[in-house]
Chains A and B, each alone.
Chain A
Amino acid sequence: MTALIHPDAPVDRIGAQASLGAIRRVRSLSDRGIAWLFVTPTIALLLAINIFPLIWMIRLSFTSLNLSMSYLPLRFVGLDNYADILSDDDLWIRLQTTAQFVIATVALEVLVGFGLALLINRQFRSHSFWTTIILLPMMLSPAVVGNFWTLLFQPQIGPFNYVVGLFTGIAPSSFSMTGEVALAPWTIVLVDTWMWAPYVMLICLAGLRSIPDYIYEAAEVDRASPWRQFWSITLPMVMPFLMLAVLFRAIENFKMFDMVNLLTSGGPGSTTELISITLKRAAFEKWRTGYSSALAIILFVTVFGAANIYVKALNRVKQR
C-alpha cells in the first residue's frame, strides 16, 4: 500500500510545454498537422454521438412528438413542455426524492469511507489485502448488484431479513426492505453505500497519504492532542480530496438509474422513483418524446452546472 501513494508524486505537467525550442520551430507545421490529425477523430465521434443528438433533442423538446402516435404530424408547441414540467407537482416530488437520495448516500459514504480510510491508514498488517476486498463492490455492475440484492432482501428466503431477525427478534417475514414505503428509500441508500463507500475511502486514503509526516511530528512536539491534530491537520489536508469524492458521488447519484431500477424499480408506489426512472418511463414507456426531451434538457443543464464545479475542484486538487 505504501507504494500506492507518494506525497511527492508528479501532480501536473501541463505547464511544462516550453522546452522543445529549435526543433519545435523547424517542424512546427507538421506538428500542428499531427496535433489536429490526432484530436479530430475523438472530437468528431463526440460530435456525432453526443452533440448532434443533443441539438436534435433540443429541437424535439419544443414539439409534442409522441412515438406511440408518430403518425401525427410534428407540432411545435413552443415552451409548453418546459412549462408542464416546471409546474408539475409530481415531478418536483421526484426531484425531492432524488435530492434526498443524493444527500443521504453522500453523507453516509463520506462517514463510512473516511472512517475506513483513517483506520486503514494505521497500516496494520495485511491492510492491503483487506482494502482490496473492501473495494470489490464498487467495481461491479450496478444493475447486477441491484438484481442480486433483491434476492438478499426477500422477506422469507433472503438472508438479510433473517440476520436482522436474529439480532432484533423481529420476525423475518414481517417486513420487506424493498416493498414497504417506510423502508424502501433506506434500502436503496444502504445498497448504494455498500457499493460506493469504498470509493470515498480510496480517495480519502490518497489524501491521508499526501500529508507529510513532519507536520504530525511538529504537532507532537507542540503537544497537540490527537483530537486537535485531526481537526487542524488531517481534516483540512484531506478536504480537497473529500470534496472531489463528494462532487463525483453527488453527480453520479443524481443520474442514478441502473441499480435502483433493478432493486425497487421506483416502488413501492413511487417512493424510490428517482428522476432518471421518471425520465425513462416518460421516454420509453409512455413514449412522450417531446416532453421527455425537455425534461432531459433540464437535467443536462443541472448536471452541466455541477460538472463545472466538479472540474474546478478537480483542478484545485491537481494544483496541490
Chain B
Amino acid sequence: MTAVARSTAHSIVEASPRVKAFAAVIVIFYALVAITPLLWIVATAFKSQSDAIAYPPKVIFQPTLEGYVNLFTVRTRQTPDFIAHLPPATTWYDKLVRKHDMVVAGPSKVVPRFINSLVIGFGSTFLAVLLGALAAYAFSRFRIPLADDLLFFILSTRMMPPVAVAIPIYLMYRQLNLTDTWTGMILLYTAVNVSLAVWLLKGFIDEIPREYEEAALVDGYTRLQALRKVVLPQAVTGIAATAIFCLIFSWNEYAFAVLLTSGDAQTMPPFIPFIIGEGGQDWPAVAAATTLFVIPIVLFTILLRKHLLRGITFGAVRK
C-alpha cells in the first residue's frame, strides 16, 4: 500500500506536468489580459486623431507619428489659402501637420517638463542615497541610543498621507519662496525617499560581513577609509538598487507635484493629463507622452527584478 501511495503522490516541490500546464495557462492568460491596457496605450500613440476615437475601437490601423508630433509641438489652425502661400514644408513633421490645415507654431512644454522630472528625480535620488547610506551605515555598525525608535521615526514619515503633508509644506514653501522650484521639490522628495534609502541600505550593509572591516581596522585603516575601501565596493549593488527605487518614486510622484508646482518645476505626471488638442484631450499625444514616460520604468523593473521584493517591503522581506 505504502509503495502504491508513494508512486502516485506528487511532491508539491515538483508539480506534475498536468498541474504545471494548468498553472501556466491561467498565469499566461492573466498576464496577457493585464498587459493589454498598456499595449493599448502604446498603440494609441501611433494612431491618428480619428482612429483614436473611432467606434468600434480600432485594433488595426494605419500607424502615424502625429501623436508624437502633437506632443512636442504647438500648432495653429490656418486657412488652406494661407498654407498654400507658405514656403513649402521643409521637415517631415511640418508636412504631417499641414495635412490637417495646421502649422507648427513652436515647441510644446513637454521637453521642459521632462527635464524637470529628470532634474528633480536625479537630484532627490542622489541626496537621498547619500544621506541614507551614511545613516544606514551608522545604524548598521554602531550602537546608537534609541536606534529602533529612530528607525521607526524615519519610516513613519513615509506613512503620512501626501495631501496632508502638502498643507504645511505649501505654507512653509510660500514663506521661503520655494513653491514651484527645483530646490523645493528636490528637498521634499529627498525627505520622502530618505526613509526608504535608510531601511533598504541598512539591510544591504547588514549583509556585508563585519569581519572585512575589522580586518581593515586591524591593518591600520581608519573608520572612514574602511568605509570607503571595504564597505562601499561591496554595497554597490544595494546602492544601485536603492537609487533606482528612489528614482522611480520621484519619477512617478503626483500628489506633491500637482499641489506644489504649477509651471516652472512641474514634472511629467501632473502635466500628462492636461495635454489637450482642439476639443478635449488629445489622446494620441497623451498616449505618446505616457509611452515615453513609462519606458524607463519598464527597463528599471527588468533591471531590478532581483531586488524588487526588498524594495517594495522596505527591506522587510529579502530574497
Interface residues of B in 80-117 (CB under 8 A from A): none
Of A73-81, A99-107, A278-286, which stretch is located at the interface? Answer: A278-286
Residues 221-252 of B, flagged 1 when their CB comes within 8 A of A and 0 if not, give 00110000000000000000000000010011
B35 to nearest A CB, angstroms? 6
In the complex, the answer to whether A157 meets B165 with C-beta atoms within 8 Å is: no
Task: From the candidates A27, A46, A133, name the one contacting B154 in the complex (CB within 8 A).
Answer: A46
Q: Which of B52, B56, B169 contacts A49 (CB 8 A)?
A: B169
| A50 lies within 8 A of B171 (CB) | no
A contact patch SS:
helix
Which of B165, B194, B223, B286 interacts with A45 by CB under 8 Å? B194
Contact A23 B218 (CB under 8 A): yes
Point out the residues of chain B lying under 8 angstroms from A137, CB to CB. Answer: 34, 38
Contacts of A202 in B (CB 8 A): 308-309, 312
Docked complex Cα distance between A190 and B137 (Å): 41
**In the bound complex, do residue B152 and residue A311 qualify as a contact, i.e. CB atoms below 8 Å apart?**
yes
Interface residues of A in 204-239 (CB under 8 A from B): 206, 213, 216-217, 220, 223, 226, 229
Tell me the number of A-to-B contacts counted with CB atoms below 8 Å.
317
Nearest-neighbor residue (CB-CB) of B29 within chain A: A130
**A14, A45, A149, A216: the one within 8 Å of B12 (CB):** A216
Interface status of A123 (Cβ within 8 A of chain B): yes
- Interchain CB contact under 8 A, A157 and B9: no
Closest chain-B Cβ to A154's Cβ sits at a distance in Å of: 8
Shortest Cβ distance from B172 into A: residue: A53
Interface residues on chain A, number (Cβ under 8 Å):
118
The answer on a CB contact under 8 Å between B223 and A30 is yes
* A54 x B167 contact (CB < 8 A): no
Given A4-B306, A39-B138, A122-B20, CB of A317 within 8 Å of CB of B319: no
**In which size bucket is the chain B interface?**
35 or more
Contact assessment for A35 and B317 in the assembled complex, using a CB-CB cutoff below 8 Å: no
B135 touches A255 (CB 8 A): no
Which residue of chain B lies nearest to A302 when distances are taken between CB atoms in the complex?
Answer: B161
Chain B residues lying within 8 Å of A62, measured Cβ to Cβ, are none
User: Which single member of A23, A132, A151 contacts B214 (CB below 8 Å)?
Assistant: A23
- Verify if B276 is at the interface (C-beta below 8 Å from A): no
A307/B132 contact (C-beta < 8 A), A53-B165, A53-B169, A133-B34 known: no
What's the Cα separation between A125 and B194 when bound, in Å?
Answer: 39
A263-289 to B contact mask, C-beta < 8 Å, 1/0: 000000000000010011001100001
Q: How far is the CB of B250 from chain A (nearest CB, A)?
A: 10
Contact check: which of A9, A38, A158, A276 meets B163 at CB < 8 Å?
A276
Whether, in the assembled complex, A71 has its beta carbon less than 8 Å from a beta carbon of chain B, the answer is: no
Binds B, one of A87-95, A175-183, A291-299: A291-299
Given A42-B132, A116-B27, A134-B27, output 11 extra A-B contacts at Cβ < 8 Å. Answer: A35-B142, A39-B134, A53-B165, A122-B20, A122-B24, A127-B24, A138-B312, A143-B273, A148-B287, A279-B163, A314-B316
Report, nearest first, the 10 A-B pairs whose CB atoms are least far apart: A53-B168, A143-B254, A141-B252, A296-B164, A49-B191, A38-B138, A35-B142, A38-B134, A124-B24, A307-B159
Q: Which B residues are within 8 Å of any A CB, using their own CB? A: 5-6, 9, 11-13, 15, 19-21, 23-24, 26-28, 30-31, 34-35, 37-38, 40-41, 44, 52-57, 131-132, 134-135, 137-139, 142-144, 150, 152-157, 159-172, 187-188, 190-191, 194-195, 198, 206-207, 210, 214, 217-218, 223-224, 248, 251-255, 258-259, 269-270, 272-273, 281, 283, 286-287, 290, 293-294, 297-298, 300-302, 305-306, 308-309, 312-314, 316-319
Q: 21 pairs across A/B with beta carbons < 8 Å? A: A12-B206, A38-B138, A41-B131, A45-B187, A56-B171, A57-B168, A60-B171, A125-B24, A134-B27, A134-B31, A136-B298, A139-B248, A141-B252, A141-B293, A203-B313, A220-B6, A257-B163, A262-B254, A283-B167, A293-B168, A311-B156
A residues near B (Cβ < 8 Å) are: 3-6, 9-14, 16-17, 19-20, 23, 27, 30-32, 34-39, 41-43, 45-46, 48-50, 52-54, 56-57, 60, 116, 119-120, 122-127, 130, 132-144, 147-149, 151-152, 156-159, 162, 172-173, 194, 198-199, 202-203, 206, 213, 216-217, 220, 223, 226, 229, 241, 244, 248, 251, 254-255, 257-258, 261-262, 276, 279-280, 283-284, 289, 292-293, 295-296, 299-300, 303-304, 306-307, 310-311, 314, 317-318
